[in-house]
């Protein structure tokens, strides 16, 4: 509170998340986005409208939405009326109303916009909407949603989504949720998707390419691949064990958190890293070598459907709750397959970390290091240490409780610490102090 008052005194806007001080917005809460868009692949042109349903959290006359400068706004209405004025600057759409709205008032914001979308530049590289050789993709983590639609781009700001995307008929268009309709008109095809589960904006994606869709597995949950036809045989082999992965993770983590199944997209281009979205993971052609060379990454991205996509951090400093858990899922899959056990992986990476720079605090690594591999591996080691302390029965009961209790909600590290205490016979404070809040890598067996 004091920091917020000091910021106001200096004339700078308050900050929701110090890791991304320019994103997120105050004064309202969004419950739904409805996107009605058209994308022309050849000229990289995106046009359309966003209808945003929200409620005010305080008396409100001015407010902002996150929106890339690459997109121009032509019209805004709020509850059917034109605002006093609107303008875009510094990645924000500023809207000023002619009259104040009371706290708790409903808002329906309609924004018509268009432009040539491009990724948002960040300290982690290019993020968001990106052209491919033949199509486009959205990789939104952590602040790329504003590269293609106006939003409250913060992980704790979850909402439902309706996405209608029209593009040239030869292309396959994929977005989050259930495909409600595919309508062909002349040279254009319109795809309509519905994502009912509350979802963070960075986990909303759009994938457009010369793709075919086919089923990989159905074991209570349908698993599909969307990929170029030339990669079909490799995809079937490399991604073919996802049904077994899903069975294992459901046993260990609890029910799969979505009703609409799971889809992997394999682009025709190479990608540096795969990335998760709600109900979808995105891989490059280079992750499909016909030899299951990327299987640990396939397990990692699937695990994010529980840890990160359903149970999502309130602020980015807690990112180990995403990446540490997904990394540990890699080790659990390896153990299940009769390859290296989780304990062997733990000892392998513990040795590495003890010979790496020891200047990172896992519970607050800082924005530049939030995607550092040490966050992933130290997070997994923290969980392995906790597993050894609690025993398998209590540890996996804890994980199921965690994913059930916080299903489609937002969390912080203290939430996990508090819940874990219920499964322990002795205090876990020394473990957390050593693994989460100290820079030195503690011994693996005796934290």
- CB burial of 265-278 (b: ≥16 within 10 Å; e: otherwise) equals bbbbbebeebbbbb
Confidence of residue 59 (pLDDT cuts 50, 70, 90): very high
Query: 386 lies in a domain?
Result: yes
Query: 250 lies in a domain?
Result: yes
Query: 403 lies in a domain?
Result: yes
Average pLDDT over residues 333-341: 97
Distance CA(330)–CA(347), nearest Å, equals: 15
Residues 126 and 230 in one domain: no
Residues 336 and 292 in one domain: no
3-class SS shares of the chain: helix, strand, coil, % to 5: 30, 35, 35
pLDDT at 14: 80
Torsion sign over Cα 44, 235, 276, 306:
positive
Confidence of residue 445 (pLDDT cuts 50, 70, 90): confident
Assign residue 327 the CATH number of its domain.
1.10.390.10
Query: 2 lies in a domain?
Result: no
* Helices and strands: H and E segment counts in the chain: 10, 22
Distance CA(427)–CA(430), nearest Å, equals: 7
Residues 192 and 243 in one domain: no
**DSSP secondary structure letter of residue 170:** T
Q: What angle do CA 309, 157, 6 make, to 5 degrees?
A: 130
Average pLDDT over residues 313-321: 98
Radius of gyration of the chain (CA): 22
Q: What are phi and psi of 439, to 5 degrees?
A: -80, -35
Distance CA(1)–CA(105), nearest Å, equals: 25
Average pLDDT over residues 155-181: 98
Assign residue 238 the CATH number of its domain.
3.30.2010.30
Residues 139 and 218 in one domain: no
Sheet strands side by side (includes 120-122): 120-122, 125-132, 135-139, 206-209, 172-175
Residues 410 and 379 in one domain: yes
Query: 306 lies in a domain?
Result: no
Query: 3 lies in a domain?
Result: no
Residues 158 and 222 in one domain: no
Task: Dump pLDDT digits (tens) for 78-91.
Answer: 999 999 999 999 99
For a pLDDT cut of 90, what percent of the chain falls above it?
A: 95
Confidence of residue 218 (pLDDT cuts 50, 70, 90): confident
- CB burial of 10-31 (b: ≥16 within 10 Å; e: otherwise) equals eeeeebbbebbebbbbebbebe
Task: Dump pLDDT digits (tens) for 60-75.
Answer: 999 999 999 999 999 9
Average pLDDT over residues 263-278: 97
> Is the pLDDT at 241 greater than 90, yes or no?
yes
Distance CA(388)–CA(390), nearest Å, equals: 6
Assign residue 93 the CATH number of its domain.
2.60.40.1730
> Is the pLDDT at 12 greater than 70, yes or no?
no
Residues 280 and 424 in one domain: no
Q: What angle do CA 90, 96, 102 make, to 5 degrees?
A: 125
The mean pLDDT value of the chain amounts to 95
> Is the pLDDT at 36 greater than 90, yes or no?
yes
> Is the pLDDT at 7 greater than 80, yes or no?
no
Number of domains into which the chain is organized: 3
pLDDT at 386: 98
Residues 348 and 407 in one domain: yes
> Is the pLDDT at 39 greater than 60, yes or no?
yes
Query: What is the residue whose two structure tokens read 């490799």?
Result: 234
Domain's final residue, options 268, 301, 334: 301
Helix axes 392-405, 413-421, angle to 10 degrees: 130
Residues 172 and 51 in one domain: yes
Query: What is the residue whose two structure tokens read 């029910």?
Result: 255
Query: 8 lies in a domain?
Result: no
Task: Decide if 129 contacts 37 (C-beta within 8 A).
Answer: no
Average pLDDT over residues 224-247: 97
Average pLDDT over residues 414-442: 98
Domain that holds residue 408: 313-435
Residues 101 and 220 in one domain: no
Residues 245 and 139 in one domain: no
Termini Cα distance of the chain: 35
Residues 274 and 360 in one domain: no
Residues whose CB is less than 8 angstroms from the CB of residue 222 and which lie 6 or more positions away in sequence, other chains included: 215, 261, 262
Distance CA(266)–CA(228), nearest Å, equals: 7
Average pLDDT over residues 217-230: 93
Distance CA(172)–CA(209), nearest Å, equals: 6
Distance CA(435)–CA(320), nearest Å, equals: 11
Query: 444 lies in a domain?
Result: no
Distance CA(33)–CA(161), nearest Å, equals: 5
Domain's final residue, options 138, 168, 200: 200
- DSSP SS3 for 353: helix
pTM as predicted: 0.95
């Amino acid at each position: 509170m004091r920091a917020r008052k000091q910021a106001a005194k200096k004339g700078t806007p308050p900050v929701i998340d110090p890791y991304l001080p320019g994103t997120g917005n105050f004064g309202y809460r969004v419950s739904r986005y409805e996107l009605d868009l058209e994308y022309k692949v050849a000229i990289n042109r995106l046009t359309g409208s966003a209808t945003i349903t929200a409620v005010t959290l305080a008396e409100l006359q001015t407010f902002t939405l996150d929106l890339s400068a690459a997109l121009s706004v032509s019209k805004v209405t709020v509850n059917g009326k034109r605002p006093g004025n609107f303008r875009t600057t510094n990645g924000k759409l500023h809207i000023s109303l002619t009259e104040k709205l009371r706290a708790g008032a409903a808002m329906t914001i309609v924004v018509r916009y268009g432009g040539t979308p491009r990724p948002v530049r960040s300290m982690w590289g290019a993020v968001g909407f990106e052209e491919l050789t033949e199509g486009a993709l959205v990789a939104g983590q952590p602040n790329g949603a504003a590269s293609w639609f106006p939003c409250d781009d913060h992980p704790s700001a979850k909402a439902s989504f309706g996405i209608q995307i029209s593009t040239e008929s030869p292309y396959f268009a994929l977005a989050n949720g259930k495909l409600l309709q595919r309508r062909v008109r002349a040279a254009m095809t319109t795809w309509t998707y519905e994502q009912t589960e509350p979802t963070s904006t960075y986990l909303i994606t759009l994938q457009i390419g010369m793709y075919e869709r086919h089923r990989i597995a159905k074991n209570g949950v349908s698993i599909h691949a969307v990929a170029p036809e030339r990669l079909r045989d490799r995809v079937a082999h490399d991604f073919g064990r996802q049904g077994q992965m899903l069975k294992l993770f459901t046993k260990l983590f609890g029910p799969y958190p979505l009703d609409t199944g799971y889809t992997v997209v394999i682009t025709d281009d190479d990608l540096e890293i795969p990335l998760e979205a709600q109900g979808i993971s995105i891989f490059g052609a280079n992750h499909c070598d016909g030899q299951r060379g990327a299987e640990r990454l396939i397990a990692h991205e699937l695990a994010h459907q529980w840890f990160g996509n359903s149970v999502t951090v309130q602020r980015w400093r807690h990112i180990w709750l995403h990446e540490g858990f997904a990394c540990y899922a890699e080790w659990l899959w390896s153990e299940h397959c009769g390859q290296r056990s989780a304990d062997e992986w733990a000892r392998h990476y513990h040795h590495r970390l003890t010979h790496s720079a020891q200047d990172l605090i896992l519970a607050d690594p800082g924005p530049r290091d939030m995607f550092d591999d040490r966050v992933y591996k130290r997070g997994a080691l923290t969980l392995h240490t906790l597993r050894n302390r609690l025993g398998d029965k209590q540890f996996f009961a804890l994980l199921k409780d965690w994913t059930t209790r916080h299903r489609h909600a937002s969390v912080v590290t203290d939430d996990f610490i508090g819940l874990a205490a219920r499964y322990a016979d002795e205090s876990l404070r020394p473990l957390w102090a050593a693994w989460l809040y100290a820079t030195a890598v503690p011994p693996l067996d005796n934290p």
